[in-house]
Amino acid sequence: MLVSWEIIFICLLLAAALASFVWERIPTDLTAILVFGALIVASFLPFNRTLPSLEQLLSVFSNPAPLAIAALFILSAALERCGLIDELARFLEHLTKLGYHGLLLCMILLVALISAFINNTPVVVIFLPVILTLSKKIKTPASKLLIPLSYASIFGGVCTLVGTSTNILASGLLQKADFPPLSMFELSRVGVPLMAIGTLYLLLFAKQRLPVRESLTSILSDEERKEYFTEAFVRVNSPLIGNTFKGSDLQKAKGLRLLEIIRNGVAVSGNIFMAELQAGDRLVLACRPSGFVQARSVAGLKLAAEEREGLETISAHEGSIVEGVIGPRSTIVGRTISELNFRQRFRMIILAIHRRGINMRDRIDSLPLEEGDTILMMGTDSAREQIRRGDDILLLDMPHTPSKDFSKKAPIVLLTMISVVGLVSFNIMPITAAAILGTAVVLASGVLRPKEAYAAVDWGILILIYGMLALGTGMQTSGASGHIASAIANIPHFGLSDGMHLLLILACLYLTTSILTEVLSNNATIVLMVPIALNLGIALGVDPRPFVIAACVASSASFSTPIGYQTNTYVYSVGGYRFADFLKIGLPLNICYFLGTVALVPHLWSF
């Protein structure tokens, strides 16, 4: 078969996109936009014959799947806001007497059940502080439980149409190709047996194969773990008046740090280090024990007796060190500590950042924060409480407590979610219509304000999906998908029967999808692989549905790397894991899912 320049162009564009995803220097959503832009430019070329036209490219916005995904993001946020997930998470606190394996089993089943119906990431984020607390109660390192927590959310996501966005995308692509969409529980036929296999595997091997890893706090010395906070005010006759913190002797004290200036009951905004001090200003200062004596002699931390500086102590107490993780709806992602003016905004000092197996302590002020970063902070109890009430940083030593006002609306949200599932299960409404209707109900009930609903949607994922849908359209119209499908279909028989040859092809498709999803977004993977699966069925003259089902499972079953699935990235940082830890526990699980899928799918969906 002749390979046209259009196919070569699409393959080069695909290779460039894959390289960008793996390289990670450019955000994935920006890569998707650039791919879309390149296809738009190519559509205007006068010698273009098979690349998609502008109308075909813009038609991806009529695909209902991304709308359904956006609506489900909002429904998931409503469930999180009203405290339903928190209550289920706290249920595990009553099960610590069951020991490690009993707690592990209950955690897997509970998390998988929840993740079968809502977005996996908030489930894992809410369970993180609960699991960290329970691990201390059963005297087991948290690293023995956190990877299983992420895996459990993946187990559940594979089981239903709404369990993960990849299933919704696959269903939409099936429908667009004039095949019946996936039903609500169609994937349960393969997902539930695979979950049973995965659960048994973790019960047998998790404790032995998972490492013992210390928390981020362990990198601090005993000296660094103890820091004192002193509140002092500037006297009327103080020589500090009219001077700045940076220009005073206070700056010379080793280990003395200014956290806040309170003036007339209000925190001073802007650059507090260059603000001119006034009589009556309250200074919130931090100092390590080693610098305490020196700070006294220079700046008078025994401040009432130090006429030279004119400061008087209000109170002094030991600061607390806490760990937090940058949440999925955080507004500080992509910004540096300096840009955020972190000390003043959160009244906390960042001591270290853990990202992808690396503890970073030097030059962190200029480091852009990323979703999933674990940060080690120090501050007062009031500052910790302020962070706990926000959405930017999830404190790992304090489970989230929902407002009572929102808890009262939990029955409305739960009934709405059950109704959405029921409407789709009984084929009364398609998933997009049911999800949008459910979103309208939770917004009307006041559980979420419109602004909060918009913030709940991961717009980066939607942009990525639209960009990959455009690339998938290009692969289809140019014939690239057909060429790839033909190459897979023409795998030698090796003396196998036709039935066994189909199994071999199914296995090849699964492995290709599985490898891609470990380095790409699972959404990008499914958008690229479903057209190939459909063309594969056409090339072989069989029903392509088994191939699509296998692609759905493979695109979600990402166990071997911490970057293949978002929940893996979260526990990677929090648990202090290394990349090899995921390979050690996850690769055998990938093989279990591969063998289970290849064995089960042909019996449950005939070719």
3-state secondary structure of 377: strand
Partners of residue 230 on adjacent β-strands: 285, 316
At 84, give phi and psi (nearest 5°).
-65, -45
Give yes or no for a contact between 58 and 100, defined as CB atoms under 8 angstroms apart: no
**pLDDT for the residue 526:** 93
Q: How many helices (H) and strands (E) does the chain have?
A: 26, 10
pLDDT number for residue 301 = 34
Residues 6+ apart with CB under 8 A from 587: 559, 560
Q: What is the pLDDT of residue 315?
A: 45
What pLDDT was estimated at residue 247?
77
Q: What single DSSP character describes residue 95?
A: G
Which pLDDT value is given to residue 351?
A: 76
Domain definitions of the chain by residue range: 227-318
Element (H, E) at 148: helix 146-157
| CB burial string 75-114: b at 16+ within 10 A, e below | bbbbbbbbbbbbebbeebeebbeeebeebbbebbebbbbb
Query: Can you tell me the distance from the alpha carbon of 418 to that of 109, in angstroms, rounded to the nearest whole number?
Result: 19
| Prediction pTM value | 0.82
CA distance 514 to 528: 12
The CA–CA distances, whole Å, from 268 to 229, 281, 286 equal 18, 10, 17
CATH of 227-318, one of 3.40.630.30, 3.40.50.450, 3.30.70.1450, 3.30.200.20: 3.30.70.1450
Q: What is the pLDDT of residue 312?
A: 47
In this predicted model, what pLDDT tens digit does every residue of 66-81 receive, in sequence order?
A: 999 999 999 988 888 8
Give the chain's residues under pLDDT 50.
Answer: 222-223, 225, 291-318
State how far the Cα of 113 lies from the Cα of 509, in Å rounded to an integer.
Answer: 28
Q: In what order do the strands lie in the sheet with 374-379?
A: 358-360, 348-355, 374-379, 320-326, 393-395
DSSP3 helix / strand / coil % (the chain, rounded to 5): 60, 10, 30
pLDDT in tens, 378-413: 777 777 888 887 778 888 876 655 555 556 788 888
Do the Cβ atoms of 267 and 251 come closer than 8 Å?
Answer: no
pLDDT of residue 216: 61
Residue 283: left (phi > 0), alpha (psi -120 to 50), or beta?
Answer: beta
- What string of DSSP letters covers 303-363? GGG-TTTTEEEEEEEE-EEEEEEE-TT-S-TT--HHHHTHHHHHSEEEEEEEETTEEE-SS
Q: Kindly state the tokens that stand for 365.
A: 């002020």
DSSP string over 384-411 = HHHHHHSSSEEETTS-----HHHHTTHH
